[in-house]
Each structure stands twice: as structure tokens, then as C-alpha cells.
């Protein structure tokens, strides 16, 4: 019997949602969900296709990257997840995809500028693109460094992971997170749509202006501020 049955089930469902939402093909991408009390997270096994994935295949790993339960090798990006869980104590889930448009922005090595309210409904800042890592970091412990690259990119821009739940890793692809695994999945889908809209917008009008601050604030606040009136109480 598993000691982590519900955790693994939750991680499984998050991974399967990525496929249903059209955010992954084959084995591209992975989702994890954390159990804060036991300081472990369940993550997709490495290189297993979404078509054949089962809840029991999920691998439970601690923050030092030791496999606690599971017969399969965890995702090759596991160390990145571990760094983020250990550094950011308010997140409950992490998602990594190679979704088409978000990855294109990561490859373009550009922040996604905030061009409209669809973006502002979710975050009040440009979606940052972390710079490509130094050669030494790539050689040393690449996946750990990816975690710190993400953390430092937010710090450098003076952003909190609570306010900005998505990032592009330059030359690579997006990572998203959230209070739950479900929210992290949602953020991946939203990011892909924002990335697509922004690419098309720039194609229509290369000079499309950044959304003005008053409108950014309004849309973000009505959904997430103290007096938020979007959604149900």
C-alpha cells in the first residue's frame, strides 16, 4: 500500500490535464504536487508517455532529491522542482511544459510584455524571461541551477513568486507554479494563451503599446486585490 496515494493521484491528474489542455505532446513536460507536512512531492516519472501514464507511476521525492516511494526514475527536471519547493514555502504545485507559444517566447529570449487585460487579469507585470545560464552552471548541476536561475530572475526584477506565478527560462521553456497543482496547471494554460495573443499582437502592430499602469492595476485588483469582486465569495 502507498503512503502517498492521494498525493500521487493529485500529481497524476495534474499531469493528465496538461495533455487534455494541449500543452504537452509525447513526454514533454511534467507536473508535481507537494505535501508540505511530509516535505515530499509527487512528480511524473521521466520519459514516460502521457498515453500510458498511471497514478501509481508517480514518484515521490524529498527536497534533497531522494526517491521516497516509486519504482520509476523521476522526471529529469526533478531537482528544479525540489529547489523551488524548498525556497518558496507557499507553493503547492509546479508545472513545466514546452507549450508552443510560451516556448517560442523563451527561445526568442524576450519577456512577454503586458499588452492587455487578459494578461493583467493574471499578473500585473511582464512575464519575465530568465537569461540563459552561464556555461559553468550548465556543466555543474544543471537542473539545480535552473531552479536558482528562476529564483534569481524574479529577484533581479524585484518580483515575488506570490505575484508572478510563471516564468520563461531563456532558450528553454516555461515553468509555472501556484498554491495547488491545479493552479499551476491553470497558469500554464493561461501563459500559453497570453503568449499566443502577444505574438499575434506584435505581428499586427509591432509598436503595440504596453498596457497603461492604471488599467493593469484595475484588472489585477478586481480579481486579486483586497476589494476583489471577480468570482464568487
Closest separation between CB of residue 86 and a copy of itself, Å? Answer: 21
Write out the three cell numbers for 215: 488599467
Q: Which string of x and - marks every residue 50-69 that binds a copy of itself (by CB under 8 A)?
A: --------------------
Counting every residue written for the chain, the total comes to 233
Q: Does 226 bind a copy of itself (CB under 8 A)?
A: no
Please identify which residue in 15, 30, 103, 188 interacts with a copy of itself, judged by CB under 8 A.
103
Q: Does 72 bind a copy of itself (CB under 8 A)?
A: yes
Contact 173, 97 (CB under 8 A): yes
Residues 161-220 that bind a copy of itself (CB under 8 A): 171-173, 186, 189-190, 193, 196-205, 208-209, 211-212, 214-215, 218
Which of 109, 157, 224, 225: binder of a copy of itself (CB under 8 A)?
A: 109
Residues 150 and 172: their CA atoms lie apart, in Å, by: 12
Q: Does 141 bind a copy of itself (CB under 8 A)?
A: no
Q: How far apart are CA 14 and CA 11, in angstroms?
A: 5
Cβ 180 vs Cβ 32: under 8 Å: no
* Closest CB to a copy of itself among residues 42, 195: 195
Here the cell at position 107 is 527561445
Residue 157 or 223 with smaller CB distance to a copy of itself: 223
State the cell numbers at 219. Answer: 484588472
Is 62 known to be catalytic?
Answer: no
Instruction: Report, in Å, the least distance between residue 206 CB and a copy of itself.
Output: 9
Residue 89 among the catalytic residues: no
| Residue 47 interacts with a copy of itself (CB under 8 A): yes or no | yes
State the helix-helix crossing angle for 181-204 and 100-108, rounded to 10 degrees.
60
- Grid cell for residue 212: 497603461
Ranges assigned E (strand) in the chain: 30-35, 40-43, 59-62, 67-69, 93-96, 129-130, 166-169, 174-178
3-state secondary structure of 48: coil
Residues marked as catalytic: 121, 230
Which residues are near a copy of itself by CB under 8 A? Answer: 25-28, 45-48, 72-73, 76, 98, 100-101, 103-110, 115-118, 132-133, 135, 138-139, 142, 171-173, 186, 189-190, 193, 196-205, 208-209, 211-212, 214-215, 218, 222-223, 229-233
Amino acid at each position: 500500500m502507498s503512503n502517498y496515494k492521494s498525493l500521487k493521484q493529485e500529481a497524476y491528474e495534474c499531469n493528465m490535464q496538461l495533455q487534455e489542455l494541449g500543452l504537452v505532446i509525447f513526454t514533454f513536460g511534467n507536473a508535481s504536487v507537494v505535501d508540505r507536512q511530509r516535505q515530499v512531492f509527487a512528480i511524473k516519472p521521466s520519459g514516460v508517455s502521457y498515453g500510458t501514464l498511471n497514478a501509481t507511476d508517480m514518484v515521490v521525492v524529498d527536497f534533497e532529491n531522494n526517491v521516497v516511494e516509486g519504482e520509476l526514475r523521476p522526471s529529469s527536471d526533478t531537482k528544479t522542482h525540489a529547489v523551488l519547493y524548498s525556497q518558496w514555502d507557499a507553493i503547492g504545485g509546479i508545472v513545466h511544459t514546452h507549450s508552443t507559444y510560451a516556448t517560442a517566447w523563451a527561445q526568442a529570449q524576450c519577456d512577454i510584455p503586458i499588452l492587455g487585460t487578459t494578461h493583467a487579469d493574471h499578473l500585473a507585470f511582464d512575464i519575465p524571461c530568465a537569461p540563459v545560464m552561464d556555461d559553468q552552471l550548465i556543466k555543474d548541476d544543471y537542473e539545480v541551477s535552473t531552479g536558482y536561475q528562476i529564483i534569481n530572475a524574479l529577484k533581479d526584477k524585484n518580483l515575488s513568486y506570490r505575484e508572478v506565478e510563471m516564468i520563461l527560462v531563456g532558450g528553454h521553456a516555461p515553468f509555472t507554479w501556484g498554491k495547488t497543482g491545479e493552479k499551476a496547471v491553470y497558469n500554464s494554460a493561461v501563459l500559453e494563451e497570453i503568449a499566443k495573443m502577444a505574438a499575434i499582437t506584435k505581428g499586427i502592430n509591432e509598436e503595440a503599446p504596453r498596457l497603461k499602469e492604471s488599467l493593469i492595476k484595475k484588472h489585477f485588483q478586481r480579481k486579486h486585490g483586497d476589494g476583489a469582486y471577480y468570482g464568487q465569495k
